[in-house]
Amino acid sequence: MTTTFLLERLNTPLGIMLLANDEAGRLRIVDWQDHEQRMRELLRRQYPGQAIYLRETANHSSAAESMFSYFEGELDALESLEVATGGTEFQRTVWKALRDIPIGKTISYLGLATRIGRPTAVRAVGLANGANPVSLVVPCHRVIGSGIKAPLVGYGGGIERKRWLLEHERAITAQEPALQAILPGV
């Protein structure tokens, strides 16, 4: 069985974003062009036994328009996007909880594990966070480390993108003492 997703390449302030929707318009994957191989691996893992075909399209979907609005400052533009993911039940539980993190706020991996009722599953939460196929919409960038020395950890798109996204959402500023040691030029 072959499943087709429509793949768009969007120019954003953070580089070229890859966005794929199914034929019903549900968002299936969001990643960055420089991580395209990882994106394809995530698709293989999330849809085992299925052949996923990514058909490139130049047409902009409503999800793409929402992404453009988000980058232009309409921070809640991604809130109502419909997503459909594979993954395990545990992963989907973590991803659902990620969508409940308010714009402009962050949570630690421990806080997220506690929120889903699994406070000892911090590592599993981190792995599920890293396997999130629809970053930004399922805002895995809002999860930070607990340590004061390294709060910006674990973002598949890269720490610089995570920092930019959190600053864009006003969740952090470059002037925060915890960030001064890790951000260049501060």
Give residues with Cβ within 8 angstroms of 181, minimum separation 6.
Answer: 149
Determine the distance from the C-alpha atom of residue 174 to the mean position of all C-alpha atoms in its chain, rounded to a whole number: 21
Average confidence score pLDDT of the chain: 87
pTM: 0.86
Q: What Rg, from alpha-carbon coordinates, does the chain have?
A: 16
Listing DSSP states for 22-45 in one string gives: -TTS-EEEEEEGGGHHHHHHHHHH
Every domain of the chain with CATH number 1.10.10.10 lies at 89-180
Using a pLDDT cut of 90, give the percent of the chain over it.
Answer: 67
pLDDT of residue 174: 55
Catalytic residues: 140
pLDDT, tens digit, 9 for 90 and up, residues 47-93: 888 899 999 998 999 999 999 999 999 999 999 999 999 889 999 99
Every domain of the chain with CATH number 3.30.160 lies at 2-78
| Distance, CA of 179 to CA of 26 (rounded, Å) | 36
Q: In the block, which residue shows the tokens 């610089």?
A: 160
Please name which of 4, 2, 44 lies closest in space to residue 21, comparing C-alpha atoms: 4
Grade residue 45 by pLDDT with cuts at 50, 70 and 90: confident
First to last CA, the chain: 52
**What are the residue ranges of helices labelled H in 16-158?**
36-46, 62-71, 89-99, 109-115, 122-130
Please check whether the domain covering 89-180 is classified as CATH 3.10.450.50.
no
Overall CATH class of domain 2-78 = alpha beta
Q: At what angle do helices 122-130 and 89-99 cross, to 10 degrees?
A: 80
pLDDT of residue 153: 63
Q: In the block, which residue shows the tokens 């794929």?
A: 20
